[in-house]
Amino acid sequence: MQVFACLSIPGMRKSLLASPALERPASAAEIDRVFKALADPSRRELLDRLHARAGQTLGELCEGLEMTRQAVAQHLQQLEEANLIAVQWEGRAKRHFFNPVPIHEIHERWIRKFERDRLAALRTLKRTLEGDSDG
């Protein structure tokens, strides 16, 4: 059983690991929201920026982007609805934090099961090429 630490920052709307998926698999609607959010290159860039430096405000995230502040705010809203970011209020400043849990859930559900078969095939190929019939 894996144990996850919960990062809870005072004033943060959601705990970064307070995902119901830790108790149950993510629903189809939750996964759809994550895929939809990740489908846009602008939102992926925002996630990359938050991964590189957590806790940025809207103004900081707008720096160097060729998007209006309103467009960035809308992208952040979609990322928040997909639970890909969590927010913390510091006075009037809203700080954004990348939440990797939904991406991990997708990996567990959609990618890992394909890795198993591929790795088993590689193991079989290795044994065949090395002449190891004992397993």
Please report which confidence band the pLDDT of residue 135 belongs to, taking 50, 70 and 90 as the band edges: low
**For the segment 40-69, what is each residue's pLDDT rounded down to a tens digit?**
999 999 999 999 999 999 999 999 999 999
Q: Give the pTM.
A: 0.70
Cβ–Cβ < 8 Å for 73, 58: yes
Task: Give the mean pLDDT of 92-98.
Answer: 97
Strand partners, 85: 98
Q: Which of 45-49, 81-85, 94-98, 129-133 has the lowest mean pLDDT?
A: 129-133
Burial class of residue 65, CB neighbours in 10 A (0-12, 13-18, 19+)? middle
Task: Give the mean pLDDT of 26-33.
Answer: 88
**For the segment 5-15, what is each residue's pLDDT rounded down to a tens digit?**
344 444 444 44
Please report which confidence band the pLDDT of residue 111 belongs to, taking 50, 70 and 90 as the band edges: confident
pLDDT for the residue 108: 85
Residues 61 and 31: their CA atoms lie apart, in Å, by 25
Topology classification of domain 25-127: Arc Repressor Mutant, subunit A (1.10.10)
Residues 83 and 42: their CA atoms lie apart, in Å, by 17
Residues 115 and 130: their CA atoms lie apart, in Å, by 22
Residue 94 has phi, psi (to 5 degrees) of -105, 115
Residues 23 and 25: their CA atoms lie apart, in Å, by 7
46, two tokens: 């925002």
pLDDT for the residue 28: 85
Residues 112 and 108: their CA atoms lie apart, in Å, by 5
- Give the domain ranges of the chain: 25-127
pLDDT > 50? residue 20: no
